[in-house]
Amino acid sequence: MRMRTFLMIAALLAWCCNDGRAQVITSHSVTLAWQDTLNPAGATTYSVYRAPGLCSGTPTFAKLATALTVLTYQDSTVTPGNYCYQVTATVGGMESSPSNTAGAPVPSFAPAQLTVTVK
C-alpha cells in the first residue's frame, strides 16, 4: 500500500470587540490530507499519528485519531512548535506500515496592538 500525505497549516482567525476595539483571537490548526488508491474504498479506515519536534531522526509517535473514514484530518490541538505526522490504513483488522512523514512548523503568533506615545 502506498499513500501520499500532504500537509496544510491553517491559522484560524476570529474577530471580536470586547471594549470597542477589534481584537484578533488566533488559534492554530494543522490539516492533513492523503491519497489512497490501492486499498478498497468503504472497507478502509485510517489512523493519524503525531510526534513532537522535527521528522528527522526517530520521532516517537502517539495516536491522535483512529477509525477515520475520510482522507483528511484536522489537528486543532497544536501550539507553536514543530510537529511530525504519519498515517496508517487498516483493512480487515490489519494495520499497514506508516505513510511517509510530514512536518508541520507551527509559527508563533505575531504581537498585536502595538502603540507609540510621543511626548
pLDDT in tens, 99-116: 999 999 999 888 888 899
Question: Are 15 and 24 spatial neighbours (Cβ–Cβ below 8 Å)?
Answer: yes
Q: How far apart are CA 47 and CA 65, in angstroms?
A: 5
- Residue 55 carries which DSSP code? S
Q: Which residue has the higher pLDDT, 53 or 23?
A: 53
CATH code, residues 3-106: 2.60.40.10
Question: Mean pLDDT over all residues of the chain?
Answer: 85
Question: Are 61 and 49 spatial neighbours (Cβ–Cβ below 8 Å)?
Answer: yes
All structural domains of the chain with their residue ranges:
3-106
Cα torsion angle, 68, 70, 72, 11, sign? negative
**Model pTM?**
0.77
Residue 103: the pLDDT is 96
Number of C-beta neighbours around residue 73 at 10 A: 19
Using alpha carbons, select from 115, 37, 52 the residue that is nearest to residue 84: 52
Q: 107: part of which helix (H) or strand (E)? A: none
Q: What is the pLDDT of residues 76-104, one digit of tens each?
A: 999 999 999 999 999 999 999 999 999 99
